[in-house]
């Protein structure tokens, strides 16, 4: 078999529908893998940011709760005094 015949056979194999399907599915799987990795990194970052925000919220929640309790006690004692 000559080199020209080998190259022609290789060209025909690449141009076949089956070869195109295999190459396309391989590329699609690679793209899905990359998308999965970047999505996983994004969700990890969102999770860490959310945990930080929850940590920032607790002092605010405690202050609001203490203020509401203080207002309720003030009203209670103000009504008794009058």
Model pLDDT for residues 31-68, shown as the tens digit of each residue: 666 667 777 777 888 888 888 998 999 999 999 999 99
| Mean pLDDT, residues 19-41 taken together | 69
Q: Which pTM was predicted?
A: 0.43
Mean pLDDT of the chain: 79
CA distance 30 to 23: 11
Q: Which residues of 48-77 are buried (b: 16+ CB within 10 A; e: fewer)?
A: eeeeeeeeeeeeeeeeeeeeeeeeeeeeee
Q: What is the pLDDT of residue 67?
A: 96
Total domain count, the chain: 1
At 66 the pLDDT is: 96
Look at residue 69 and tell me whether its pLDDT is greater than 90: yes
Domain that holds residue 65: 3-81
């Amino acid at each position: 078999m000559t080199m020209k015949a080998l190259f022609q056979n290789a060209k025909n194999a690449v141009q076949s529908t089956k070869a195109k399907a295999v190459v396309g599915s391989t590329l699609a799987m690679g793209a899905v893998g990359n998308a999965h990795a970047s999505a996983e990194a994004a969700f990890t970052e969102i999770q860490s940011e959310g945990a930080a925000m929850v940590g920032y919220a607790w002092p605010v929640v405690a202050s609001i709760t203490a203020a509401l309790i203080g207002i309720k006690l003030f009203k209670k004692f103000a009504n008794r005094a009058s």
